């Protein structure tokens, strides 16, 4: 890949213990979605749980992808009840992403949130989360079958209705799409200043944008990074994100 005119896109890592050592890791599917979907180059942002040199970082990036993760946002960040025993958390990621999301949007950096990233963005704007959608009683099954092959787990699961006139509708051009569904948590209260972009058949908010953002700021609950080149809807999301990152890169280089 030639780096000429290729936007530099930060991809947030998870902090995870592997054996005796802590690692910062990013799923390759997210890195490849930046390369093949957004036509950018991914730069990993570590979740070290320390204060980032935020302004220096943002001055060098053209976009940020907030990835999905096996972990959940710690519920004290949205005044939620304690998590069930055994719930996987990543406090160092929380300490990294929650301030970074607001700073990036305020600075006009294009952002895309996926799954955990979607939930992080909702929390940053004062929203709350259902920790176990399947126990609420009003939602369809949004979890994957963890015993199935990956292609089945990430296969199309349900329809979403896309809000006309929104950022997602502009990218895709249709009122509906089919998506995968690989999540246990979901939006309870939507954050202030967030605009719904799509809903599941049960009414659950599946995508939102930031109303007054200077640049592209979209979050989705599903996983469009999965084999992005094989799905036109998923590709349209990364195309729009990549275009916004290229626009930012052109402004940054002036």
Catalytically active residues are 115, 223, 225
Task: Report the distance separating Cα 118 and Cα 107, nearest Å.
Answer: 19
The β-bridge partners of 18 are 21
Residues in CB range of 129: below 8 A, 6 or more apart: 72, 73, 75, 78, 80, 119, 122, 123, 185, 186, 187, 188
Residues in CB range of 1: below 8 A, 6 or more apart: 35, 41
Using an 8 Å Cβ cutoff, are 117 and 12 in contact? yes
Residues in CB range of 44: below 8 A, 6 or more apart: 10, 11, 13, 24, 26, 31
């Amino acid at each position: 890949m030639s780096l000429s005119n290729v936007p530099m896109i930060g991809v947030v890592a998870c902090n995870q213990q592997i054996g005796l050592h802590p690692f910062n890791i990013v799923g390759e599917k997210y890195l490849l979605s930046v390369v093949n979907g957004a036509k950018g180059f991914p730069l990993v942002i570590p979740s070290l749980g320390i204060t980032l040199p935020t302004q220096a970082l943002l001055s060098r990036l053209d976009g940020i992808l907030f990835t999905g993760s096996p972990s959940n946002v710690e519920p004290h960040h949205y005044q939620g009840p304690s998590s069930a025993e055994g719930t996987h958390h990543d406090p160092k990621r929380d300490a990294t992403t929650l301030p970074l999301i607001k700073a990036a949007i305020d600075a006009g950096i294009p952002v895309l949130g996926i799954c955990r990233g979607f939930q992080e963005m909702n929390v940053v704007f004062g929203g709350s989360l259902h920790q176990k959608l399947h126990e609420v009683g009003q939602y369809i099954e949004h979890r994957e079958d963890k015993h199935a092959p990956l292609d089945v787990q990430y296969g199309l699961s349900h329809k979403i209705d896309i809000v006309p006139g929104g950022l997602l509708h502009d990218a895709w051009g249709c009122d509906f799409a089919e998506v995968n569904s690989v999540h246990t948590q979901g939006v309870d209260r939507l954050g202030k200043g967030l605009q719904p972009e799509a809903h599941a058949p049960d009414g659950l908010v599946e995508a939102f944008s930031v109303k007054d953002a200077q640049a592209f700021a979209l979050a989705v609950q599903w996983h469009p990074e999965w084999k992005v080149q094989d799905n036109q809807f998923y590709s349209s999301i990364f195309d729009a994100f990549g275009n916004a990152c290229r626009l930012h890169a052109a402004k940054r280089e002036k």
